[in-house]
Amino acid sequence: MAGQDGIYIIGLAAQLPSSVPSFDEIRPRVTRDFEVEQAAALARAAGTNFYFAASVQLAVGKTFAQTAVAKGIVPVTLAPFSLSSSDIPEIEGHADLGTFRQVAFATPPRTLSRFVPTTEEGYAAGGYVLFVQSVASPDPAVKEADLPQYISQMRRGRENEAFNMWVNSEANREFRNIPYLQRLEPAAKQP
């Protein structure tokens, strides 16, 4: 292949034969995948069953904690968080943060979310049922105290965005004047 700065020779280094491995060669991997899939199916079934059992127990006046403990599950109480929270330490490594926040804020207070399956290392790994105790209103004093910082942060973000747009437009205009790039342009148009 001829290029602007030389000729390139490309050759095939090796050809790997296509073959189907024997079952003995892949038995450990197949066994592990089967066991992981079966465990995930059992976890999903247990999670779904817990959701229905907890729904019934909440309807008859039991608390979520009482229901969870009766089923052998240790409930985890989370610190208050917002839709924009970038970290919820109690769920780290157990659930996707974005999905968790969406589920939490889509679930009305004093109700359960549906069972939400999770993945771990690319495999289905279990899941969670979320009970929303309450939704707290932001403290007006805190909102007013944070407003100047928020406005400043938004202003810096918009200034950076405008600067980046200007730099890109200037760079695109000036790149047309670089002699090396002008030489490459006709070669790029050839088939």
Please list the pLDDT of the chain residue by residue as tens digits (191 residues).
777 888 888 877 777 777 888 889 899 999 998 998 898 889 899 999 999 999 999 999 999 999 999 999 899 898 888 888 888 888 888 888 889 999 999 999 999 999 999 887 666 678 899 999 888 876 666 667 677 887 888 888 889 889 988 888 888 777 777 776 666 655 545 54
Which two structure tokens, joined as six digits, stand for 111?
């109700």
* Contact indicator for 32, 105 with CB cutoff of 8 Å: no
Enter the pTM of the model. Answer: 0.58
**Whole-number Å distance between alpha carbons of 113 and 106:** 8
**Whole-number Å distance between alpha carbons of 113 and 115:** 6
